[in-house]
Amino acid sequence: MAVLIDETTKVVVQGLTGKEGSFHALRNRAYGTNVVAGVTPGKAGLDVEGIPVFDNVASAVAETGADTSLIFVPARFAADAILEATESGVALAVCITEGVPAADMARVHSYLEGKHTTLVGPNCPGLISPGKANVGIIPGEICTPGRLGLVSRSGTLTYQIVHELTQLGIGQSTCIGIGGDPVHGVDHIDALRMFQDDDETDTIVLIGEIGGDAEERAAAYAAENVTKPVIAYIAGFEAPPGKRMGHAGAIVTGSSGTAAAKAEALEAAGVRVGKTPTEVAQIVQAVV
Amino acid sequence: MDLYEHQGKELFAKHHIPVPQGIVATSPEEAAKANDQLGGRSVVKVQVQIGGRGKGGGIKLVSSASEAAEAARVMLEGGFKDMKVIRVLVEEQLPIAAEFYMAITLDRTSGDYLAMVSSEGGMDIEEVAATKPDALRRRHIDPMLGMQSYQARFLAGGLPEDARGPAAEVVQKLWGLMEDSDATLVEINPLVLLEDGRVVALDAKVTVDDSALYRQAELAELANVFPIDPTEARAKREGLQYVKLDGSVGIIGNGAGLVMSTLDVVAQAGGKAANFLDIGGGASAGLMATSLEVILSDPAVRSVLINVFGGITRCDLVAKGILEALERVEARVPLVVRLDGTNAEEGRRILSDAAHPRIVPKPTMLEAAAEAARLAEVS
């Protein structure tokens, strides 16, 4: 069934009436996603090209049965929006917003423990199950339905690799952009577990970058728990230590978080690591 | 954003964390005067944002005004490890009985905070963890609850008895600072026990979350006094994500991951990137012109690689943006352009119709990287 989202997913967009929110919500709807509601405090009763707007997530969920929230609110309101979505009982919250303070995310992370809401993001492109649903800003045109699951910390690098896969005729079950911030929701390990358990996914592509140790931990997890082939790509071999490379989480601190260490850990775990986005697609083609 | 030591110590003082008396000096004369104010003996410390100051000659014990002036002069004129130095910190000398380590950091693995106290001061903490694990005490701090008293007592509990009480207070105050300042790292190395029983922070390393600067007005102000590279300063003002590197291929791309990947692919093709520059999702003519100006102001740049994957961004608009930018900026080096994704064909057609003498279109990222690396060699 793909993972996290499919043709039955019902989306409420927090920040629907904003420029970004309306643009992407309408694109997602045009893709075939059930965008059932929007939320902007104080604007209940309006609609955006037929999508009804509510004052809060709880009433949107009550009225429309939305089970997934897509968040486009400004960074200073993002933590509040995620908490509201969680308390309103949606199963999935996808936060696209970039620049959310780390302290806010640490509190959100602590709050989410034990709750039944899964968070994707923030600072992410969202996720897509090609042919079924698109929740976020990944361009649907570059994807094609298939049996490859992809997880990535990056946006455009994901598009690049998906594009190369699609051109080689390799379709995707679900592509998940988990985001480039230090504290975030779904991580590489969660994605590996979901793809391993998904009977519509045969092969997994894992895209990482410098900073933290998520890829190293994913490597250890894959070695123990994943029987499907995993192909990886790591960006940032040329990044100097101590410099933030765009993403808040993309920084080599001292000797930890380097691309070389990550690639090495993945290869030691039996994961094949492509040297370029093109080589990743070629390895996948050879495997499937 | 990393604070300088003296800025970190000012922040410590506001949070009642004991620090040595100190005076910032920007000239040898000021350093001499500061030394006298501190009683005729002092420590002169170079203010740079890299480690290894002690071993690298960046910390000098002096016992006269003329020695203080000379130490400051060497640091201010000579710089430190290729970094420009505009300030030194002159501090009182203190009688040290023992040195420790204390830090709290955002722990991205667990999504909370990690506090650490070690009885081994002055050492790299990863080395302590590896070689003397018993000397290091760690506790995760729940951001909802904050640091509890028992956690502070536990953390300080491995220190010599005299230091435990005051160190527990320091770690608790350090947590308060972390919360109030939106810091992602606070580190004291070394934290010292003085012969008179006081516990004092001899160093201060503070990293403030850039994403939280909007609500940290005072700390955001500090960024304006940083002597950063003028090109980086300009890029920052324009809202570009720019990092100066030391190669000759200028890079412009959209999205952090793709730009990082571009740097790697250029290196594999035998070139070396001159910078990291992420123009984000916009790629308008104005942004492209500014990006080109920023990159071409680096004299080391011999070729430029523009690598755009149009997702939401449309490649036809990017192509028009590049052409418009070239009306405003003189391209002194060749520009290799690779456009892919949304409306890529139209974008490529716009570039080939324009037939600009400096634009070299390439169909794939790998071919573009190879060409940019080659042109940087021959031009």
pLDDT tens digits, one per residue of B263-308: 999 999 999 999 999 988 666 778 888 899 899 988 999 999 999 9
pLDDT tens digits, one per residue of B143-165: 999 999 999 999 999 999 999 99
Is residue A183 within 8 angstroms of chain B, CB to CB? yes
Average pLDDT over residues B213-239: 81
What pLDDT is attached to residue B228?
63
CB contact under 8 A, A110 and B111: yes
CATH number among 3.20.20.30, 1.10.8.50, 3.20.20.80, 3.40.50.261, domain A138-288: 3.40.50.261
State the ipTM, two decimals.
0.91
Tokens describing residue B194: 């003085």
What pLDDT is attached to residue B226?
65
Distance to chain A for B180, nearest Cα, Å: 10
What pLDDT is attached to residue B125?
74
Q: CB-hemisphere CA count at 13 Å for A273? A: 23
Kindly tell me if the per-residue pLDDT of B314 is higher than 90. no
Is residue A247 within 8 angstroms of chain B, CB to CB? yes
CB contact under 8 A, A245 and B126: no
Q: Which residues contact A74 (CB under 8 A, 6 or more apart)?
A: A15, A97
- DSSP class per residue in A198-247: -TT--EEEEEEESSSSHHHHHHHHHHHH--S-EEEEEE-TTPPTT---SS
Average pLDDT over residues A11-29: 95
What pLDDT is attached to residue A148?
98
Which amino acid appears at position B47 of this protein? Q
In chain A, what is the straight-line distance between the N-terminal and C-terminal CA atoms, in Å? 19
Average pLDDT over residues A244-270: 88
Find the catalytic residue in B5, B67, B91, B187.
B187
Is residue A115 within 8 angstroms of chain B, CB to CB? no
pLDDT tens digits, one per residue of B58-101: 999 999 999 999 999 999 998 888 788 999 999 999 999 999 99
CA distance readout (Å), A101 to A144, A250, B8, B224, B338:
35, 15, 20, 21, 34
Fold agreement (A1-123, A138-288) = yes
CB contact under 8 A, B276 and A239: yes
User: Where are chain B's structural domains?
Assistant: 21-91, 96-223, 230-378
Tokens describing residue A2: 């793909």
Kindly tell me if the per-residue pLDDT of A221 is higher than 70. yes
User: Where are chain A's structural domains?
Assistant: 1-123, 138-288
Residue B219 parent element (H or E): helix B217-222
Kindly tell me if the per-residue pLDDT of B313 is higher than 90. no
Is residue A101 within 8 angstroms of chain B, CB to CB? yes
Topology adopted by domain B230-378: Rossmann fold (3.40.50)
Q: Which residues of B110-130 are buried (b: 16+ CB within 10 A; e: fewer)?
A: ebbbbbbbbbbbebebeebee
CATH numeric code, B96-223:
3.30.470.20
Average pLDDT over residues B106-134: 86
pLDDT tens digits, one per residue of A133-166: 999 999 999 999 999 999 999 989 999 999 999 9
CB contact under 8 A, B214 and A76: yes
pLDDT tens digits, one per residue of A36-58: 999 999 999 999 999 999 999 99
pTM (2 decimals)? 0.93
pLDDT tens digits, one per residue of B168-211: 999 999 999 999 999 999 999 999 999 999 999 999 999 999 99
Homologous superfamily of A1-123: NAD(P)-binding Rossmann-like Domain (3.40.50.720)
What pLDDT is attached to residue B99?
95
Catalytic residue flag (residue A188): no
Topology adopted by domain B21-91: Dna Ligase; domain 1 (3.30.1490)
Q: Supply the mean pLDDT for chain B.
A: 92
